[in-house]
Structures are given as C-alpha cells and as structure tokens.
C-alpha cells in the first residue's frame, strides 16, 4: 500500500500536467486526491503503528544489484506524513483559490503533487539509497516550482541557484550514505539504526550527510539560495519552506 500511495502521487501529477490546460485551477482538486488518500491511510494505520507495529513493504528496485525499494511507516514517519500530506492538503486547498484564472495552474498543481510525492518518499524510505533518490527528486521538483514563471529571468536564476547549492550538498550526502551503508553492512535504514556502526569512516559519513541536510534546509553557510526562492508563488513557497 505504501508504494501505491507514491504511485498515486505520480499519477495525479501526470494527470494535472497532461490535462492542466483544460482543468485550469481545478487541477488542484485532482492533485489533492493523493495527499488526502495518504492522510486517510495514515489515520487508518495510526493505532497499530503507535502500538509498535510499523507498516512495511519491499519491492524489487535494481534486482541485478540486489537493491530493493524498502518503505516503512513507523511512529516518526507517521508524524512526518502528517506534516507532508496533512499540511499539503491545506496548501492545495489554498492554491485552488490562488491560481484561479492562472494559465500556470495545471503545471503548478502537477509539480506540487510530484514534490509532495518525493517528500513522502523521503519520509517512508527504509533504504538509504532510495532515500537519496527521493531526496534528489525534491531538488528537481523544487527547481521546477521555483522557476514556475519560466519567462522571468529572476525566477530562472533563483531556481538554478537553489538547484546548484542543494545539488552539491546532495552529492556530499550520497558519499556519506554509501560509506555508512558499507560500514554497517546494509543499506536498510532501520537495521542501521538498530545496530549503528562506529569508527572514523562513520564519523566522516555523518558529516557528509549533515552537509547535504544543511544545504537543503538553507542553514549557514548554505543559506544563500533561500531568499531568491521566495519568487515562487505564495502556495509554492509555503509548501517548499
């Protein structure tokens, strides 16, 4: 079911982007179905999850390399789903009114729900390499959302600035995650946390992961991209930040 929720975000994004010119701001109603369904599923599982029975799924990802797409909804992930999809539902409702009459409504709705799906993937991922993949998808969708007005040079510049800073930080994070997985003997996040490795290499890996996190969250000295990102329309800025 967890993978189906991610697929639902992808499908909603495709519909909103493909039919945006016909749907107009109504595309946000289509896009909102994915986060609303996610909130509903999370509420239905909340009792079991909070009692210590997480929801887990595993699907083949890159079989030749033995990689799987492991997803896990535990208590902390449940809290983050409330933020990603719960707040997201409110943002989509606001965007419905904000983009009324806008020629960019369909594109905004499609990209926003794809961004929501990427964030949901980060929250649910139980494989550090899958987590990195979703992390990068948030960077790409953020780039497209910040530069939504692609006719404006300022928007394009702000989007590129954000992508370069967060992308460079993400490369550092990838190095850290690979080292961490190698030292732990597994790339499964829950297993790493259950039996964390130690040593100089692990300390270096943690620093690299933190660099990526600091860049993405615009912490000093990686904060320079954030003011420019505010050129995005208000609902997008609200959801991004």
Digit-coded pLDDT (tens) for 21-67: 787 888 888 899 999 999 999 999 999 899 888 888 888 777 776 67
Contacts of 61 (CB under 8 A, 6+ apart): 67, 68, 69, 127, 130
Residue-wise pLDDT for 148-183, tens only, equals 877 777 778 888 888 889 888 889 999 999 999 989
Residue-wise pLDDT for 178-227, tens only, equals 999 989 888 889 889 888 888 899 999 999 999 999 988 878 888 888 77
Q: Is the dihedral of CA 40, 237, 101, 118 positive or negative?
A: negative
Rounded distance, CA 58 to CA 80, Å? 20
Token pair belonging to 70: 């492991």
Residue-wise pLDDT for 89-120, tens only, equals 999 989 888 888 788 888 899 999 999 999 99
H/E run at residue 114: helix 105-124
Give the global pTM.
0.89
Residues in the chain: 241
In the chain, DSSP assigns E strands to 55-62, 67-73
Is the distance from CB of 112 to CB of 30 less than 8 angstroms? no
Residue-wise pLDDT for 231-241, tens only, equals 778 888 888 87
Mean pLDDT of the chain: 88
Q: Which of 122, 29, 125, 8 is CA-nearest to residue 70?
A: 125
Rounded distance, CA 60 to CA 188, Å? 14
Rounded distance, CA 177 to CA 195, Å? 16
């Amino acid at each position: 079911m967890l993978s189906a929720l991610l697929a639902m975000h992808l499908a909603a994004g495709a519909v909103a982007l493909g039919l945006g010119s016909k749907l107009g701001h109504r595309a946000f109603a289509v896009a909102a179905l994915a986060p609303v369904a996610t909130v509903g599923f999370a509420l239905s599982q909340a009792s079991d999850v909070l009692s210590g029975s997480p929801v887990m799924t595993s699907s083949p990802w890159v079989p030749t390399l033995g990689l799987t797409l492991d997803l896990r909804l535990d208590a902390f992930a449940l809290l983050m789903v409330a933020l990603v999809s719960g707040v997201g539902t409110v943002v989509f409702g606001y965007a419905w009114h904000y983009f009324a009459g806008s020629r960019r409504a369909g594109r905004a709705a499609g990209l926003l729900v794809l961004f929501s799906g990427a964030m949901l993937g980060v929250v649910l991922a139980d494989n550090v390499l899958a987590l990195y993949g979703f992390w990068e998808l948030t960077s790409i969708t953020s780039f497209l959302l910040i530069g939504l007005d692609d006719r404006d040079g300022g928007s394009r510049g702000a989007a590129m600035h954000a992508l370069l800073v967060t992308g460079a930080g993400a490369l550092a994070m990838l190095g850290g995650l690979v080292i961490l997985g190698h030292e732990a003997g597994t790339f499964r996040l829950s297993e790493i946390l259950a039996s964390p490795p130690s040593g100089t290499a692990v300390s270096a890996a943690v620093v690299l992961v933190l660099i990526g996190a600091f860049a993405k969250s615009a912490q000093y000295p990686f904060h320079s991209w954030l003011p420019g990102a505010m050129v995005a329309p208000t609902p997008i800025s609200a959801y991004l930040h």
